[in-house]
Amino acid sequence: MIANRPKSAEAAGAPLLQRLLSRPYPAVMGVLNVTPDSFSDGGQFIAPEQALAQARKLVADGADIIDIGAESTRPYGSQQPVSAEEELRRLKPVLADVVSLGVPVSIDSMKSDVVTWALVAGAAIVNDVWGLQRDRGMATRVAARDVPVIIMHNRDRADPAIDIMKDISTFFARSLEIAAKAGVSPDNIVLDPGIGFGKTPEQSMTAIARLGELSSFELPLLVGASRKRFISTVSPSEPQQRLSGSIAAHLVAAQNGADIIRTHDVAETVQALRVAAAIREQQ
C-alpha cells in the first residue's frame, strides 16, 4: 500500500481518496453490473429492484465503494458495443437509489457523456477501463468535476511476446500526461493494471506478482482479479466457482501494494483482508 498513508484521514473534510485509503488494509470496491452480458453475473441485476437489492447487500457486506457499470467490458469473448443512450437507459432507474445508500459510487464507463451524467446524478468516482485514452473528452470532464479517476491499463488484444510490466508503465505514463494536460489533480488518480484486459493469463499473474514495480508512480493502486479467467488456467473452474482463487490473488495483491480491491464477493474479501492485516500486525 502507498507509503505514509495518513492515519487521520477519517476526519471530516478529508478528500474522498484519503478517507478510503486510511486503514491498514485495502478499501473494497463491490461490483454491480446492470448488464445482460457481463462474464460473471450478466443479467442477474439488470432489473432496477434486483440491482438495488444487490447494492444493499454489497454495503451490508462491507463495501467501501460500489462500482456500477452498464456496459460489459469483459476481457474475452465477443460482445456488442453499447451506445451511451443504452447505458443511460440502464443506469437512470437505479443510480440515484444506489447513491442514496451512502457509500461512494464509482461509474464504470468508457464514455464521457455517460460519466458526466452519472457525476451530476451523484456518482463520486470515475472508473475508465481505457485509462483516459479512448474517449478524448474523458480527462476534461473528470478535471471539471474534480473527482477521483481510476486509470486502467488496457490493450485491444493480448500479445504474449511483450514485457507486460513495461507496457503497463508506458500506458500509464501516457495516461498521466493526458490527465496533467486536462488539469486532473494527481491527488485524484488511482492506477489499475487491468487484470485480464489485453493480457494472457500468465501476464495477468505477472502483473499481480510484480505490482510493487508500479509504486514508482507514487499513486494508489487498484487490483480487480475477481473471478478472472487466469484463475481457471491454474484451477479449472467456471466464473462463479473462483472465489478461493480470487481471494488468493487479492491477498497477494494487497501484500504487493494494492490499495483498493475490486470484487464481486465483498463479505469474503473483506474478511480475508482484515485477517491478513491483523496477522501482519503481530509480526
Active site residues: 228, 262
Distance CA(283)–CA(280), nearest Å, equals: 5
The grid cell for 185 is 489533480
DSSP code of residue 64: S
Contacts for 157 with CB less than 8 Å, ≥ 6 apart: 198
Residue with cell 496533467: 180
DSSP-assigned beta bridge partners for residue 31: 67
Residues 227 and 248: their CA atoms lie apart, in Å, by 11
Q: How far is CA 114 from CA 49, 59, 94, 98, 196, in A?
A: 21, 24, 14, 16, 24
d(CA 198, CA 164): 10
Which residue has cell 477501463? 129
The Cα–Cα gap between 248 and 251 comes to 5
**C-alpha 131: how far from chain center:** 11
**CA atoms of 188 and 39, how far apart (whole Å):** 29
